[in-house]
A and B are shown apart, each in its own frame.
Chain A
Amino acid sequence: MEIMRLVVTGPVGAGKSTFIRSVSEIAVVDTDRQATDETSLIKQKTTVAFDFGRLAFGPEMALHLYGTPGQSRFDFMWDILIQKAHAYILLVAAHRPREFVDARRIRAFMRQRSQVPMIIGLTHMDSPNAWDIENTAIALGYLNADKCPPIITVNPNEAASVAQAIITLVQHSMQNCLV
């Protein structure tokens, strides 16, 4: 069976752990700890090593999902996880524009280390303060639409929405392989 390793990354509170929990077929291996920094304003617990989930994708392929921590002090974990990734999704909370700069930093960090295909997933799009896709793309530094990776809307709480995001990511990475 072929294994495809997908990394789920993004700033704190974008929905990475929830994303993996929604679709994993096994009990997710998580490393949550009580948050004591500014993270605690958003949520109580935060990932400190990684989340791991597994999902069968057709009869021949298994997807291994790795979720990274959000805070940049854990960038050594970003490094470890991206080294073996086949593709990754950058989750960004569309209603917290202040964190776009963190998302850009993660994107730059990943791009320096890995050329694997990636897509962007915007979460919290149902919030009244959410930015739309076009503006978020510009805020994330994609001024030229041709060079922009696929951007999708995803609700990490809904298994169907997460599954759609994963299909998009796998398709995108397959296309890149063929080119």
Chain B
Amino acid sequence: MAINTEKLGIVLQNFVTATSDVQGAALVTPDGLPLAASLPGGMDEERVSAMSAAMLSLGERIGQELARGGVDRIYVEGDKGYGILTSCGEDAVLLVLADQKAKQGVLMLEIKRAVAEIKLILN
């Protein structure tokens, strides 16, 4: 069955608008191509996708080489906010951009839910 990209887009958009302090999200393939995105203005979807893929693959490699096991998520904490990468099964990677004010526990829980929802659409 074909992937319902429209539905993916809606899930991401809902996630971004409904979760407080989340500024954007993108779903990309592991080789860095956009599947769906809801990003803040001025961010290039293609570039964000490629960066997400590069970061996840490097992170997974680090996990493996330095015996940290399988990678659950990759976290970039800057003074203006967070960038969180989570693997969504074999075919997709979810990037979430959140504000500095975001409560991490809530954020992680919301991401977990979004991932479950996305996985349903992808399979």
Contacts and interface: CB of A to CB of B under 8 A. Distances in A.
B47 A33 contact: no
A168 interface: no
13 contacts: A29-B61, A31-B61, A33-B32, A34-B30, A35-B31, A36-B31, A46-B31, A48-B31, A49-B55, A49-B61, A71-B32, A74-B32, A76-B51
Interface residues of B, number: 17
Contact of A33 (B46, B51, B53, B65): B53
Contacts of B55: 49
A48 B70 CA distance: 18
Nearest to B34: A73
Contacts, number: 53
Contacts of A37: 31, 33
B50 interface: yes
Interface residues on A, range: 10 to 19
Contacts of A71: 32, 50
Contacts of B29: 36
A31 B47 CA distance: 18
A74 B51 CA distance: 7
